[in-house]
Amino acid sequence: MDHLELARQLIPWASQTRSKSYKRFPDNYPWFIDGGKGCYVTSGGKQYLDFISALGPIILGYRDEYVDAYVMDQIKFNGNLFSLPHKLEAEVAEMLTKIIPCAEMVCFLKNGGDATMAAVRLARVYTEKRLVLNRGYHGWAVFDQLIPFENLNMLKNYPDWDYVAAVLVEPELFNGAELRDIKSLCEEYGALLIFDEVVSGFRIAMGGVQEFLGVKPDLACFSKAMANGYPISALVGRREIMERLEKDAFVSTTFGGDCIGLAACIGTIRKMKKENVISHLWEMGTYLKEELEWLINKYSFPMTLHGFPPMIHFKMPEDIHALFLQETIKRGIMIYNSHNLNFSHKRTAINSLLGVYDEIFPLIMKGEVHLEGNLVGNTQFLRQW
């Protein structure tokens, strides 16, 4: 039995991450990735220029030697998990408090969803209230516990503010003035402001949107890019609130202090600072955005862009998106619905992508390409996430 058949039979979605499942991609997509280096991945002997960056964690490039050396040294000379805490926990905590504006104390976890779940629990204990209003995605763990709002007006007119423990947002979905308004509302009603910086942290700026826009939340969650793909997350925030983790807010995990993630985090932070990675991401992203806007206009291609240059998201009608995925992968580009840039994307990589866009936009617009098979599953999957 081949691997896909095996995975389909044994693993729901044949993937641990829905956004990576074969159900999300057209028939001509590879099913698995065998390995990667820099901004390239390989599958079945074919090489692809990758703009997904493992959904955000790869911020320097796949198999970055500088970061991997930190991890390998840690494993070789010390080990990764022990019966008492390791000194690396204190070391990385100190580093984070220097980088993230709201971080006065730090709690390490493993996934983004662990951190948002811990933040929600802590906010509920601290405020003695239950409701959490949210905008954005925050992981499977808090998926069904939140009350979503679309915009600031809805938030201002929310009728049950007296029961609100926290407002949890992906801060990149708002501008600075809106974030300040949300903060004022939270202060007025005694709710906590939580930034989910799982995507924006170590990408928009090292310290996330709170650093970039100068709005400090009470608590914040970091994960994806902080260790170039090694598993780690952190809940950080104001001391007075975080101290409740020592009392009545219970958060505790076996792998929270695992030294693989911590060692990788030190390596990632050092290299990001040394090489000024954030400036590179902004420079490449700004170039990509300008050129892409020009191509969109040139071909009247129905693609809209949003988000900051280090991660430019795009939207297009679902059927066009399916064609887009089919045609980009045929030409060796792996991308889904955003350009997740990393340090190994230099100008040549961006130009290759733009060259492919220049080729496929007119073909799609003239109706010269057709979906070759059905999408496996159906096109609804493109809408779900």
Asked if residue 137 binds ligand PMP (CB under 6 A), the reply is yes
Smallest distance, ligand PMP to C-beta of residue 302, A: 25
Asked if residue 223 binds ligand PMP (CB under 6 A), the reply is yes
Alpha helices in the chain (DSSP H): 3-10, 65-77, 87-99, 112-127, 152-156, 176-189, 208-213, 239-242, 259-274, 277-299, 318-330, 347-365, 381-384
> Max Cα separation, the chain?
64
Asked if residue 111 binds ligand PMP (CB under 6 A), the reply is yes
Asked if residue 196 binds ligand PMP (CB under 6 A), the reply is yes
**138, 271, 280, 321: residue in contact with ligand PMP (rule CB under 6 A):** 138
Asked if residue 136 binds ligand PMP (CB under 6 A), the reply is yes
Orientation of helix 347-365 relative to helix 318-330, angle to 10°: 130
**38, 139, 171, 307: residue in contact with ligand PMP (rule CB under 6 A):** 139
- Footprint on residues 308-347 left by ligand PMP (CB under 6 A): none
291 in Cβ contact with 354 (< 8 Å): yes
Asked if residue 170 binds ligand PMP (CB under 6 A), the reply is yes
Give the CA count within 13 Å in the CB-facing half-sphere of 323.
21
Asked if residue 198 binds ligand PMP (CB under 6 A), the reply is yes
49 in Cβ contact with 333 (< 8 Å): yes
- Other C-beta atoms closer than 10 Å to the C-beta of 89 total 17
What are the distances in angstroms from CA 40 to CA 36, 43, 350?
6, 10, 13
Asked if residue 116 binds ligand PMP (CB under 6 A), the reply is yes
**Closest CB to ligand PMP among 22 and 222?**
222
* Piece in contact with ligand PMP (CB under 6 A), picked from 109-117, 309-317, 345-353, 365-373: 109-117
Asked if residue 113 binds ligand PMP (CB under 6 A), the reply is yes
- Footprint on residues 46-105 left by ligand PMP (CB under 6 A): 55
**Closest CB to ligand PMP among 136 and 237?**
136
Asked if residue 261 binds ligand PMP (CB under 6 A), the reply is no
* Piece in contact with ligand PMP (CB under 6 A), picked from 177-185, 195-203, 326-334, 376-384: 195-203
**Closest CB to ligand PMP among 126 and 195?**
195
Residues in CB range of 376: below 8 A, 6 or more apart: 22, 23, 25, 26, 27
Asked if residue 199 binds ligand PMP (CB under 6 A), the reply is yes
β 304-306/311-315 pair status? antiparallel
Smallest distance, ligand PMP to C-beta of residue 162, A: 27
List b or e across 11-44, with b for residues whose CB sees 16 or more CB atoms inside 10 angstroms. Answer: eebbbeeeebbbbbbbeebbbebeebebbbbebe
Applying CB under 6 A, the site for ligand PMP has a residue count of 14
Smallest distance, ligand PMP to C-beta of residue 77, A: 29
Residues in the chain: 385
Smallest distance, ligand PMP to C-beta of residue 88, A: 21
d(CA 269, CA 290): 29
Smallest distance, ligand PMP to C-beta of residue 23, A: 17
d(CA 149, CA 50): 33
d(CA 346, CA 329): 20
Smallest distance, ligand PMP to C-beta of residue 76, A: 27
Smallest distance, ligand PMP to C-beta of residue 112, A: 2
d(CA 40, CA 46): 10
Asked if residue 228 binds ligand PMP (CB under 6 A), the reply is no
With CB atoms as reference, the residue minimizing the distance to ligand PMP is 112
Among 301, 298, 332, residue whose Cα is nearest residue 316: 301
d(CA 373, CA 376): 8
**Closest CB to ligand PMP among 86 and 135?**
135
Positions that interact with ligand PMP (CB under 6 A): 55, 111-113, 116, 136-139, 170, 196, 198-199, 223
